[in-house]
Amino acid sequence: MVSLFDYLGYAAGSGLGKQVAEYAKVRNAKHSTRYVSNPSYTGEVMLYEKEFLDEYFGVKKLFEEDYTEINTQLTEDAFKVAEQENENEIY
């Protein structure tokens, strides 16, 4: 079991921590807690299985991708193909 800090290598912050916790509830993910005390934070931190965090950040990445450029290129390519197919058509 690892904390978000252990997994990411930096402090995740409460916002990301809440998102991961909510996803863990939805997925019924195994979790536990660990008490930490350092100059930046003192208190309980959530611990998750590494595989769960791999899944979470993989899914998160899917929703953060900007597909605008890819979709624009696909649309332009489709119009070019349609124009080429209809070159000999008389309207």
Residue 48 lies in a domain: yes
Residue 91 lies in a domain: no
Give the model's confidence band at 45: pLDDT under 50 very low, under 70 low, under 90 confident, else very high: very high
Length of the chain: 91
- Secondary structure (DSSP) of the chain: -B-HHHHHSS---HHHHHHHHHHHHHHT--EEEEEEE-SS-EEEEEEE-HHHHHHHHHHHHHHH---HHHHHHHHHHHHHHHHHHTTT---
Residue 43 lies in a domain: yes
**pLDDT at residue 40 above 80?**
yes
Query: What's the domain count of the chain?
Result: 1
- In terms of average pLDDT, the best of 58-62, 64-68, 77-81 is 58-62
27-31: long-range contacts at Cβ-Cβ below 8 A with a sequence spacing of 24 or more?
A: 27/52, 27/55, 30/1, 31/1
Residue 90 lies in a domain: no
* pLDDT of the residue at 83: 78
* pLDDT of the residue at 81: 79
Domain limits for position 23: 4-85
* Model confidence, pTM: 0.67
